[in-house]
Amino acid sequence: MALREVRTMGDPILEKRSREVTHVTERMKELIDDMFETLYEQNGVGLSAVQVGVLKRIITIDISEEGNEPVVMINPVIRECDGEQEGYEGCLSVPGKTGRVKRPYHVVVDFLDEDLKPHSMEGDEVFARCICHECDHLEGKLYVSLVDGPLQDVDDVEEEQEKRTKRKKMRVAKGR
Q: Which of 66, 78, 139 is nearest to 108 (CA)?
A: 78
**Is 134 a known active-site residue?**
yes
Of the pLDDT bands very low, low, confident and very high (cuts 50, 70, 90), residue 14 is very high
pLDDT tens digits along 54-68: 999 999 999 987 677
**Residues 42 and 6: beta-carbon distance below 8 Å:** yes
CATH topology of domain 12-150: Peptide Deformylase (3.90.45)
pLDDT tens digits along 18-33: 999 999 999 999 999 9
Cα–Cα distance measured from residue 95 to residue 144, given in angstroms and rounded to the nearest whole number: 12
Residue of 30, 134, 158, 159 marked catalytic: 134
Cα–Cα distance measured from residue 42 to residue 26, given in angstroms and rounded to the nearest whole number: 24
User: Where exactly are the structural domains of the chain?
Assistant: 12-150
**Residues 13 and 7: beta-carbon distance below 8 Å:** yes
Identify the pLDDT of residue 43.
93
pLDDT tens digits along 94-128: 999 999 999 999 999 999 999 999 999 999 999 99
Q: In what order do the strands lie in the sheet with 106-112?
A: 46-48, 58-61, 71-82, 106-112, 118-124
